[in-house]
Amino acid sequence: MLSAQDLLVALKLLQHDAPTHSHTLLGKPLGLSQSQVQQAYEHLTDARLLRPGTWSPVRAALVNVLVKGVPYFLPAPQQGDQLVCGVATGCGAVSLPCVETAPLVWPYAGGESEGFPLTPLCPEAVTAAQRDPELHRLLALTDLVRSHRSSLKERSVAAQRLEQAILEPVAAY
């Protein structure tokens, strides 16, 4: 069974410069331990989201899981109508027209944005996103797909952009 941390590792592995030669080095920017990264590797390989014996993601399969599966097994239900401070996600972190009057944020005391609270994919996602703008973009698009606050149009456009972001590097070869 995949966990949210497994998907965080998978999203990081989409980057060409992900340090795949060491579980510790891969886990450090994600806030994950060596054992958590090893477990994620096993889960991702078992789920056929990594090519066996490599750290290479099966990009098309990952798109399917993020767009079609995550909204059901890792949904982001509405947390309330009170605005909170936090780290921007969803439309507030990617250039996408929003229906909401306020953006979505991951509640975080050190955050600089204000918006409706949304539970991050996993607790480590907030800090990892702050360290890595590309990972932040992928997490924000994933949040739009899994959020109950997103309109159908926002979810659809986010799913298209997520698919493009994941599959685009393959088309460049």
For residues 31 and 100, membership in a common domain is answered with no
Judge whether 94 lies within some domain: yes
Mean pLDDT, residues 94-100 taken together: 70
Domain limit, last residue, from 42, 73, 104: 73
| DSSP-based three-state secondary structure for 86 | strand
Judge whether 79 lies within some domain: no
pTM for this predicted structure: 0.91
Query: Residue 118: pLDDT band by 50, 70, 90 thresholds?
Result: very high
Q: What's residue 95's pLDDT? A: 77
What's the rounded Cα separation, in Å, for the pair 157 and 173?
Answer: 25
Q: What's residue 97's pLDDT? A: 67
For residues 88 and 165, membership in a common domain is answered with yes
For residues 52 and 92, membership in a common domain is answered with no
For residues 166 and 101, membership in a common domain is answered with yes
Mean pLDDT, residues 29-55 taken together: 94
pLDDT digits (tens, 9 = 90+) for 17-40: 778 788 899 999 999 999 999 999
For residues 69 and 101, membership in a common domain is answered with no
Instruction: Residue 23: give the domain boundaries.
Output: 4-73
For residues 103 and 161, membership in a common domain is answered with yes
Judge whether 39 lies within some domain: yes
Query: Residue 133: pLDDT band by 50, 70, 90 thresholds?
Result: very high
Q: What's residue 164's pLDDT? A: 93
For residues 65 and 105, membership in a common domain is answered with no
For residues 52 and 102, membership in a common domain is answered with no
> Phi, psi (5° rounding) for residue 115?
180, -170
**Residue 122 pLDDT > 90:** yes
Judge whether 78 lies within some domain: no
Judge whether 99 lies within some domain: yes
Task: Report how many domains make up the chain.
Answer: 2
Q: What's residue 101's pLDDT? A: 61
Mean pLDDT, residues 82-95 taken together: 88
Answer for the pair 77, 62: CB distance below 8 angstroms, yes or no: no
